[in-house]
Amino acid sequence: MSIKLLSAWIAAPIVLAAALLITGSAPRAATQLTVIFNTDQNGYLTPCGCAKPVTGGMPRRATYLKGLDAAIATVLVDNGNLTKGAHTPDAWGRQDALKLDAFIDMYNALKYDAINLGPNEYKIGVPTLETLKARFKGKMLSANARKSDGSPLFEEMAIVEREVQGKKVRIGITGVISDKHGLMISSQNPGVKVDPASDTIQRVMSDLSRNSDLQILLFQGSQKEAEALGESVIGAFTLVVFAEAGDYRPTEQKRVGNALLVTNGNDGKYVGRSDLTHESAWKAPKADYVKLTDDFADEPTIRQIKDSYDARVVAEDLLNQVPKSPTSDGSTYVGNTVCGSCHSEALVIWRNTKHAVAMKTLIDDKADKDPECVACHVVGMDKLSGFKNMQETRMLKDVGCEACHGPGSKHVDDPLKVKPLRGDENTCALSCHVPEHSPNFNWPKYWEQIKH
């Protein structure tokens, strides 16, 4: 035996023993292929903390993914609408751009394979998306979006490989957007056109089927639209992820041909998962949904990316860039102290409600510089005389009198002639007590807590 062979023969068990010592067991080969899917995240890097218990968030999703059994080979896909799609040159547009940056960093850290662009991404604009495409380590898909010369604007497909039960498996992924978004995309992105989804899927599928063992379609459209494409168009796919389902997660999952139609709802509250099986062909028997409760701690790396995003929001002073408009009648906000000088009993009642500590809850969560959060914790943030920041307009912090009764300057000047608005469910509650932030809101019940 040569010295080199002898050295290798001696070293091999030593390396294996070291691996066993570190991991506790020998590395296991994957025996299961699983697709993790997501759609319509709508900007929620972490969930809104207003409603308890809090559900969702990227740091929790990361903890779930990192806790998966080592014997599972995963394919990670996102069906788009990562943000809400603000495209204005102000705080809202900039905040969405910062969120997209953070999502790309998170998806790179988690090794996502593909993102299908949704209408909200196109609202932000192709130049921004092209910058993000260069940074994303996976594939940014949008097969039916074309340049004016007919060439693809982004990737048409992704082929990823996994080893399952000792055999190489090629997974083909394509993504398209519903035809109904074509006019909006073209009008906001000159030179871009959207080809019919049906024609595109059939064309791309011919290449996918030759180059992969199973195929996944990411469809930025509704379940009804996906079904309408028909078996001849989508029936050969293993999995079709659709969008626009709200909080809905199908309990009776539909199948078109071989394709299982799935979605995980919106806002990232659930992780969608489908464990694939293989006999004569690959199949998705069903999909499961994991609710991201506080049973899942924040994964440190993804949490750090979220913290960095928060720091950018503060550093860029987005709170002072919120667009503002005049009030409809020219009146201005005066603050609770002025209101309470006459309405003292109402002020006492208000001081004992949660509305009176609305801003403190944000300060405690370090969200008091985030315009998206601050809007529903102060008075009149979108108006010229409304809340601007804690230094200049401290009297308008919290959900004060004028949040429901309207700006009070004209009432103060002539209280007998000008009456304040009579706040009700429609005028002062439903703009902030929306289902995603206040899912159990009930006006008669909540009114009893603040009645005055």
The mean predicted confidence, pLDDT, of the chain is 90
pLDDT at position 87 is: 78
Place of tokens 């024609």: 199
Distance of CA 71 to the CA centre of its chain: 28
pLDDT at position 367 is: 94
pLDDT at position 426 is: 64
Pairing mode, if any, of strands 270-278 and 32-38? antiparallel
CA distances from 123 to 77, 86, 268, 289 (A): 21, 7, 20, 29
Instruction: Read off the pLDDT band of 53 (50, 70, 90).
Output: confident
Residue 100 phi, psi dihedral angles, 5° rounding:
-60, -40
pLDDT at position 410 is: 92
Largest CA distance in the chain: 108
Cβ atoms of 182 and 42 closer than 8 Å? no
Burial of residue 431 (number of CB atoms within 10 Å: 0-12, 13-18, 19+): exposed
Weakest-pLDDT range from 66-80, 138-152, 329-343, 427-441: 427-441
Compute the Cα dihedral for 425, 92, 311, 39 and give only its sign: positive
Residues in a beta bridge with 286: none
Q: Looking at mean pLDDT, say which of 43-57, 384-398, 436-450 comes out highest.
A: 384-398
3-state secondary structure of 34: strand
**Peptide bond preceding 444: is omega within 30 degrees of 0, i.e. cis?**
no
Q: Whole-angstrom Cα distance, residue 71 to residue 115?
A: 25
Q: Is the pLDDT of residue 242 over 70?
A: yes
pLDDT at position 18 is: 41
The H or E element containing residue 95 is helix 91-110
- The average pLDDT across 413-431 equals 77
pLDDT at position 27 is: 53
Q: Whole-angstrom Cα distance, residue 45 to residue 306?
A: 7
Q: Whole-angstrom Cα distance, residue 155 to residue 299?
A: 30
The H or E element containing residue 68 is none
Weakest-pLDDT range from 25-29, 172-176, 295-299: 25-29
- The average pLDDT across 125-142 equals 97
pLDDT at position 81 is: 98
* Residues contacting residue 21 through CB under 8 Å, at least 6 positions apart: none
Q: Whole-angstrom Cα distance, residue 275 to residue 260?
A: 12
pLDDT at position 437 is: 73
Compute the Cα dihedral for 205, 209, 211, 214 and give only its sign: positive
- The average pLDDT across 29-54 equals 91
pLDDT at position 205 is: 98
pLDDT at position 23 is: 42
Tokens of 445: 């019940």
- The average pLDDT across 179-208 equals 97
Weakest-pLDDT range from 45-54, 146-155, 256-265, 437-446: 437-446
pLDDT at position 137 is: 98
Cβ atoms of 159 and 214 closer than 8 Å? no
Q: Whole-angstrom Cα distance, residue 128 to residue 17?
A: 49
Instruction: Read off the pLDDT band of 442 (50, 70, 90).
Output: confident
Q: What domains sit in the chain, N to C, each tagged with a CATH number? A: 26-310 (3.60.21.10), 321-450 (1.10.1130.10)
- The average pLDDT across 120-124 equals 96
Share of the chain above pLDDT 70, in %: 92
Share of the chain above pLDDT 90, in %: 77
Q: CA angle at residue 274 from 155 to 143, to 5 degrees?
A: 15
- Dihedral, CA atoms, 324, 329, 334, 336, nearest 10 degrees? -100
Determine the length of the chain.
452
